[in-house]
C-alpha cells in the first residue's frame, strides 16, 4: 500500500470516529491519570454503560496536561460540543454518564470546559481557560486527543507526513529545514539541532547511529514521559527523519526503567511501524533503511549525560568520558552518533510536517518554538504545559499555574532540577529562554519547574539537591566526587546549626571549582542550586548560621 | 551459546526480575555468557541503582524522593514507612514480606508525594494515609 492510500484510510477511520453516532468517552490514562484513579473511574463508566445497554466508544488517551484535575474525561455526544470533566471519582463519573449521556443534562456545575464550534450555557470554552489560553502545543500536539496505541489516529492527524516530506528532500535539505526552524536541544543545553546533525552527517564513516535520550532523570520532571505515553509516534517519526538526514541505519531509544507505561507504548508503536513499513529495510519503498532498538536504563541519573548514556547502551557502567571527541565524531561503539532528547525529536516531526518557518514564527529571537514544562510543587494548577519561548515566569506560575495555594507567598522557582537554580520573586518577569535563565544562574533544563513557597527552606533545598548529585555522581572525576561531598557536609552543618559564617565563602569557592573542574554536565552544574540560593537567599543561610533559626521551620535541628 | 556484551544490563534485569535480586552464581554465569570478566559484571551490578545483591521482599515499597515530593513532605513519608516497617531504606523485613526502596523520581510529580506498592502509584500522601496503605498491604501478605 502506498503512503497516500494508508493516509486516506486513516483519515476515513478518523472521520468515521468523529462522525460516529455513538457517544465517545476519552479518558486520560497516562501514569498521572492512573495514579489519580483513572482506571477505577473507567471501570465505573463501563459498568454504568453496561447497566443501561449503551454502546459507547471508549478511548484511553495520554495526558492533556491538567494534572491537578485528574482523573479527567472528555465526553463527546454526536453533533454536540466536546465536554471535559475533571477531578472525577467513580461515583461522580457514573453520575455524569447518567445525567449527560442518558438524560442529556451536561452538568455545567461539574464541567471544566467545552471544545468545538458550538458552546453550552454556563460552561467555559476549554482552550480559553487561564491554564490553556497562553499555551501553544507543538510537541504535545496530539497528547490527550488521540489513542496513542493506534497508529491510524496519528497518521490521520498529519503523522508520518513529515517523514514522507523528508524522503522527498535530500538529507542536506532536511538539515537546512531544521536549521531554518531555529530548533535547539530540548534536553536543556540548547545546542542548535540542525548544526549538530550537520556535524554528524559530515563525520567520515559509513556506520552512524542516532539516539533518543529518554532518560528523564531530573527529579521533578515528567515532560518526556507524558509525550512518550501520549504520542509515541511523534517522537519515533522525528527519529526516522534525523536518521535519514544524518545517514544512520540504526537507532536506539534509551529510556529509564521507572517508566514502564512509556516503554510499553513504545513497543506497541514500533510493532505498528513495522507493519506499515515505516521502519526496517527500504522504508516506504525508498533506499532508506533504519532499525530501532529500545534500551532500558537501570537507575542512574548520570546516564542522561550523552557519553555516559552511550556507555550504558554498550552494557557498561554509565561513566562519562572527556569530550572531544564529541559523539558526532566518535560516539556509540566509536562511530559518529547523534543524540537528541525526546522533546527535540517530537518537534522535528512537527517541523517536517509544517515547515521550519512555521516553527520559527513562535518563540523569541534566539530561542525559537515552544518548550514543555512540568509544573509541580507549591502551585495551584500542577500540570504539563507547553508555552512559546520568551513567556515570563510570572505568566507561567500565576496565569497558567494559578499561583500559590493556601494564600501563601511565592518564594522561588527551581528550573533545571538539580542542575539549575532557584529564582526569586524579583526575577519573575524574566523571559523563559536559554540565555536569560543561564544569566540568572539557573538553566533552561529539560523542563522541570518546581515552585516553592514561604514554607520551603532554601538551605534545605540546596542540601537536598547536593545530596542527590553527590549520590548520583559516578565517581570518575575528583571535583565532582569529592566536591559534592564536601559541599553536602557544609550544608548539613548549616542545617544543623553548626555552620560558620565563613562557610558561605567556602561554599562559593568550592562551587566554582566543581563547576570549572568537573568532567561532565552533572558536576559542572551540581553547584548551581547552592550558588543561586546563596546569591538570592543569603539571609536564610545567615539566619541558620548566626541565629540557629530556620525561618521556614523545616530543618529539624533548628525548629524544636 | 554466546551473548552480546551490549546486552549485559538487559540480561541482569531479566535475572533480577526472576530472582528479585542478582545471585552470585547467576552473575558468574552471565559473565561467561557475555564473555566478560566477573569483575565487569559486578561493576555494572553495583553501579546501577536498580540492582540488588540480596533477596528482595515479596512486596516492594518505593518511596519517591523527587524534588516535588521533597517539597511536599516526602521526607516525612519515608520516615513513616521506615517506622512502620521497622527497616531502613534498602532493607527487607525479617519475615521477607516487605522491602523498602527509594527512587529519585517516579514522574508523577503533580500528585506528590508519591509511593508505589508493587508498582501501583499512591498519591497525595500524608503520614496517616501511607500508614493505612501499609496496613492494607500487610493484610494481603
pLDDT in tens, A50-97: 999 999 999 999 989 999 999 999 999 998 999 999 999 999 999 999
Shared domain for A195 and A329, answered yes or no, is yes
Does the pLDDT at position B1 exceed 80?
Answer: no
Tell me whether residue B24 is in a domain. yes
Shared domain for B72 and B112, answered yes or no, is yes
Window 212-231 of A, Cβ < 8 Å to B? 216-222, 225
Q: Does B66 touch chain A (CB under 8 A)?
A: yes
B103 closest CB neighbour out of A67, A258, A313 = A258
Does the pLDDT at position A560 exceed 80?
Answer: no
Nearest CA in chain B to A66: B110
Indicate left, alpha or beta for A137 from its phi (over 0: left) and psi (-120 to 50: alpha).
beta
Helix (H) or strand (E) holding A60: strand A57-61
pLDDT for A300-318, tens place per residue? 999 999 999 999 999 999 9
Shared domain for A266 and A323, answered yes or no, is yes
Shared domain for B63 and B108, answered yes or no, is yes
User: For position B105, what pLDDT does the model report?
Assistant: 86
Instruction: Count chain A–chain B contacts defined by CB atoms under 8 A.
Output: 141
Mean pLDDT value of segment B38-59? 95
Tell me whether residue B54 is in a domain. no
Residues A101-110: contacts with CB within 8 Å, 24+ apart? A101/A23, A101/A49, A101/A54, A101/A56, A101/A75, A101/A77, A102/A52, A102/A54, A104/A77, A110/A85
User: For position A220, what pLDDT does the model report?
Assistant: 87
Tell me whether residue A290 is in a domain. yes
User: For position A194, what pLDDT does the model report?
Assistant: 98
Does the pLDDT at position A461 exceed 90?
Answer: yes
Identify the domain boundary among A431, A452, A473.
Answer: A452
Shared domain for B63 and B42, answered yes or no, is no
A315 closest CB neighbour out of B6, B70, B108 = B6
Window 32-61 of B, Cβ < 8 Å to A? 34, 40, 43-44, 47-51
Distance, in Å, from the CA atom of A533 to the CA atom of B82, rounded to the nearest integer, reads 31
Shared domain for B35 and B80, answered yes or no, is no
Is A262:A255 a contact under the CB 8 Å cutoff? yes
The model's confidence at residue B110, banded by pLDDT at 50, 70 and 90, is confident
pLDDT for A377-404, tens place per residue? 999 999 999 999 999 999 999 999 999 9
Mean pLDDT value of segment A238-267? 97
Shared domain for A198 and A329, answered yes or no, is yes
Provide the residue range defining the domain that includes A84: 3-128
Q: Looking at CA atoms only, how far is residue B85 from chain A in angstroms?
A: 22
Domain containing residue B110: CATH number:
3.40.30.10
Tell me whether residue A134 is in a domain. no
Tell me whether residue A379 is in a domain. yes
Shared domain for B79 and B116, answered yes or no, is yes
User: For position B3, what pLDDT does the model report?
Assistant: 85
Tell me whether residue B53 is in a domain. no
Shared domain for B40 and B66, answered yes or no, is no
Does the pLDDT at position A215 exceed 90?
Answer: yes
Residue A314 per-residue DSSP state: T
Domain count, chain B: 2
> Which ranges of A221-299 does DSSP label H, i.e. alpha helix?
223-230, 232-246, 260-276
Mutate one of B107, B114, B119, B124 to test the A interface: name it (highest A CB count within 10 A).
B107
Mutate one of A315, A377, A382, A473 to test the B interface: name it (highest B CB count within 10 A).
A315
Tell me whether residue A137 is in a domain. no
What is the complex's ipTM, to 2 decimals? 0.92
Which phi and psi (to 5°) does residue A250 adopt?
A: -135, 145
Shared domain for A259 and A212, answered yes or no, is yes
Domain containing residue A19: CATH number:
3.40.30.10
Identify the domain boundary among A432, A452, A472.
Answer: A452
Provide the residue range defining the domain that includes B86: 59-140
Tell me whether residue B52 is in a domain. no
Nearest CA in chain B to A375: B110
Would you state the cell numbers that stand for residue A430, as one nine-digit string?
524574566
Shared domain for A318 and A377, answered yes or no, is no
User: For position B108, what pLDDT does the model report?
Assistant: 86
> Which residues of chain B lie closer than 8 angstroms to A36, CB-CB?
111, 123
Q: How many CA atoms lie within 13 A of A193 on its CB side?
A: 36
Helix (H) or strand (E) holding A57: strand A57-61
Shared domain for B65 and B127, answered yes or no, is yes
Shared domain for A349 and A377, answered yes or no, is no
Mutate one of A211, A316, A550 to test the B interface: name it (highest B CB count within 10 A).
A316
Query: What is the 3-class SS of chain B, one letter each residue?
Result: CCCCHHHHHHHHHHHHHHHCCCCHHHHHHHHHHCCCCHHHHHHHHHHCCCCCCCCCCCEEEEEECCHHHHHCCHHHHHHHHHHHHCCCCCCECCCCCEEEEEECCCCCHHHCCCEEECCEEECCCCHHHHHHHHHHHHHHC
Indicate left, alpha or beta for A188 from its phi (over 0: left) and psi (-120 to 50: alpha).
left
Domain count, chain A: 4
Distance, in Å, from the CA atom of B79 to the CA atom of B50, rounded to the nearest integer, reads 21
User: For position B104, what pLDDT does the model report?
Assistant: 86
Tell me whether residue A195 is in a domain. yes
Shared domain for A434 and A504, answered yes or no, is no
Higher-pLDDT residue of A101, A188? A101
Tell me whether residue A442 is in a domain. yes
Shared domain for A523 and A434, answered yes or no, is no
The model's confidence at residue B107, banded by pLDDT at 50, 70 and 90, is confident
The model's confidence at residue A1, banded by pLDDT at 50, 70 and 90, is confident
User: For position A188, what pLDDT does the model report?
Assistant: 87
> Which ranges of A36-73 does DSSP label H, i.e. alpha helix?
38-51
Q: Looking at CA atoms only, how far is residue A219 from chain B in angstroms?
A: 4
Q: Do A464 and B66 touch (CB under 8 A)?
A: no
Shared domain for A448 and A321, answered yes or no, is no
Domain containing residue A401: CATH number:
3.10.20.600
Higher-pLDDT residue of A133, A559? A133
Shared domain for B111 and B87, answered yes or no, is yes
User: For position A530, what pLDDT does the model report?
Assistant: 98
Q: Does B117 touch chain A (CB under 8 A)?
A: no
Shared domain for B66 and B133, answered yes or no, is yes
Percent of chain A residues past pLDDT 90, beyond the cut? 97
Tell me whether residue A155 is in a domain. no
Shared domain for B83 and B18, answered yes or no, is no
Shared domain for A462 and A421, answered yes or no, is no
Identify the domain boundary among A360, A381, A412.
Answer: A360
> Which residues of chain A lie closer than 8 angstroms to B10, CB-CB?
295-296
pTM given for the model: 0.96
Does the pLDDT at position B27 exceed 80?
Answer: yes
Distance, in Å, from the CA atom of B41 to the CA atom of A317, rounded to the nearest integer, reads 9
pLDDT for A462-499, tens place per residue? 999 999 999 999 999 999 999 999 999 999 999 999 99
Q: Residue A212 in 3-state DSSP? A: strand
pLDDT for A138-183, tens place per residue? 999 999 999 999 999 999 999 999 999 999 999 999 999 999 999 9
Distance, in Å, from the CA atom of A551 to the CA atom of A444, rounded to the nearest integer, reads 29
Shared domain for A347 and A394, answered yes or no, is no
Q: Does B68 touch chain A (CB under 8 A)?
A: yes
What is the overall mean pLDDT for chain A?
96
Shared domain for B38 and B84, answered yes or no, is no
Tell me whether residue A109 is in a domain. yes
Shared domain for B95 and B121, answered yes or no, is yes
Shared domain for A205 and A274, answered yes or no, is yes
Amino acid at each position: 500500500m502506498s503512503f497516500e492510500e494508508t493516509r486516506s484510510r486513516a483519515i476515513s477511520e478518523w472521520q468515521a470516529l468523529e462522525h460516529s453516532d455513538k457517544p465517545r468517552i476519552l479518558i486520560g490514562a497516562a501514569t498521572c491519570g492512573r495514579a489519580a484513579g483513572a482506571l477505577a473511574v473507567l471501570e465505573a463508566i463501563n459498568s454504568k454503560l453496561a447497566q443501561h445497554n449503551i454502546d459507547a466508544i471508549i478511548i484511553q488517551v495520554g495526558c492533556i496536561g491538567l494534572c491537578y484535575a485528574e482523573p479527567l474525561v472528555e465526553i463527546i455526544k454526536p453533533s454536540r460540543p466536546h465536554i471535559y470533566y475533571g477531578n472525577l471519582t467513580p461515583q461522580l463519573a457514573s453520575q455524569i454518564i447518567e445525567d449527560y449521556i442518558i438524560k442529556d443534562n451536561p452538568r455545567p456545575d461539574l464541567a471544566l470546559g467545552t471544545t468545538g464550534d458550538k458552546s453550552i450555557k454556563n460552561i467555559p470554552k476549554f482552550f480559553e481557560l487561564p491554564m490553556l489560553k497562553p499555551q501553544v502545543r507543538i510537541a504535545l500536539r496530539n497528547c490527550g486527543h488521540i489513542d496513542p496505541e493506534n497508529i491510524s489516529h496519528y497518521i490521520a492527524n498529519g503523522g508520518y507526513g513529515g517523514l514522507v516530506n523528508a524522503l522527498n528532500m535530500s538529507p542536506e535539505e532536511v538539515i537546512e529545514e531544521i536549521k531554518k526552524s531555529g530548533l535547539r536541544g530540548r534536553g536543556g543545553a540548547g545546542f542548535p539541532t540542525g548544526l549538530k546533525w550537520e556535524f554528524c552527517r559530515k563525520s567520515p564513516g559509513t556506520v552512524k547511529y542516532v539516539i533518543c535520550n529518554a532518560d528523564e532523570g531530573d527529579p521533578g520532571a515528567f515532560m518526556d514521559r507524558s509525550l512518550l505515553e501520549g504520542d509515541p509516534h511523534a517522537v519515533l517519526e522525528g527519529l526516522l527523519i534525523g536518521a535519514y538526514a544524518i545517514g544512520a541505519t540504526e537507532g536506539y531509544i534509551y529510556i529509564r526503567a521507572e517508566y514502564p507505561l512509556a516503554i510499553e507504548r513504545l513497543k506497541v508503536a514500533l510493532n505498528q511501524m513495522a507493519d506499515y513499513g515505516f521502519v526496517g529495510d527500504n522504508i516506504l519503498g525508498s533506499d532508506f533503511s533504519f532499525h530501532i532498538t529500545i534500551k532500558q536504563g537501570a537507575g542512574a541519573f548520570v546516564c542522561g549525560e550523552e557519553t555516559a548514556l552511550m556507555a550504558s547502551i554498550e552494557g557498561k557502567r554509565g561513566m562519562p568520558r572527556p569530550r572531544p571527541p564529541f559523539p558526532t565524531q566518535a560516539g556509540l561503539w566509536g562511530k559518529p552518533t547523534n543524540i537528541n532528547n525526546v522533546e527535540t525529536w517530537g518537534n522535528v516531526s512537527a517541523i517536517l510536517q509544517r515547515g521550519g518557518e512555521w516553527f520559527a514564527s513562535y518563540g523569541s529571537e534566539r530561542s525559537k518554538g515552544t518548550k514543555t514544562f512540568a509544573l509541580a510543587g507549591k502551585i495551584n494548577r500542577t500540570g504539563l504545559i507547553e508555552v512559546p519561548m520568551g513567556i515570563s515566569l510570572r505568566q507561567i506560575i500565576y496565569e497558567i499555574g494559578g499561583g500559590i495555594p493556601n494564600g501563601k507567598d511565592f518564594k522561588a522557582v527551581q528550573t533545571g532540577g538539580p542542575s539549575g537554580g532557584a529564582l526569586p520573586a524579583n526575577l519573575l518577569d524574566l523571559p523563559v529562554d536559554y540565555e536569560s535563565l543561564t544569566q540568572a544562574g539557573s538553566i533552561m533544563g529539560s523542563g522541570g519547574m518546581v515552585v516553592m513557597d514561604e514554607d520551603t527552606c532554601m538551605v534545605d533545598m540546596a542540601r537536598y539537591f547536593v545530596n542527590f548529585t553527590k549520590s548520583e555522581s559516578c565517581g570518575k572525576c575528583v571535583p565532582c566526587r569529592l566536591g559534592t561531598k564536601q559541599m553536602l557536609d557544609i550544608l548539613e552543618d548549616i542545617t544543623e546549626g553548626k555552620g560558620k559564617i565563613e562557610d558561605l565563602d567556602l561554599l562559593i569557592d568550592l562551587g566554582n571549582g566543581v563547576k570549572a573542574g568537573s568532567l561532565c554536565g552533572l558536576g559542572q552544574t551540581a553547584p548551581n542550586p547552592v550558588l543561586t540560593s546563596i546569591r538570592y537567599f543569603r539571609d536564610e543561610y545567615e539566619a541558620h548560621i548566626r541565629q540557629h533559626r530556620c525561618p521556614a521551620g523545616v530543618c529539624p535541628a533548628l525548629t524544636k | 551459546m554466546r551473548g552480546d556484551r551490549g546486552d549485559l544490563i538487559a540480561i541482569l534485569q531479566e535475572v533480577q526480575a526472576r530472582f528479585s535480586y542478582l545471585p552470585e552464581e547467576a552473575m558468574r554465569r552471565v559473565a561467561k555468557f557475555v564473555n566478560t570478566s566477573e569483575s565487569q559484571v559486578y561493576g555494572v551490578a553495583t553501579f546501577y541503582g536498580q540492582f540488588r545483591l540480596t533477596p528482595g521482599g515479596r512486596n516492594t515499597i518505593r518511596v519517591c524522593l523527587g524534588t516535588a515530593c521533597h517539597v511536599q513532605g516526602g521526607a516525612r513519608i519515608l520516615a513513616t514507612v521506615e517506622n512502620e516497617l521497622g527497616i531502613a531504606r534498602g532493607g527487607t523485613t525479617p519475615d521477607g514480606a516487605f522491602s523498602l526502596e527509594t527512587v529519585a523520581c517516579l514522574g508523577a510529580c503533580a500528585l506528590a508525594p508519591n509511593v508505589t506498592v508493587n508498582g501501583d502509584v499512591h498519591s497525595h500522601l500524608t503520614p496517616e494515609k501511607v500508614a493505612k496503605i501499609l496496613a492494607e498491604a500487610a493484610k494481603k501478605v
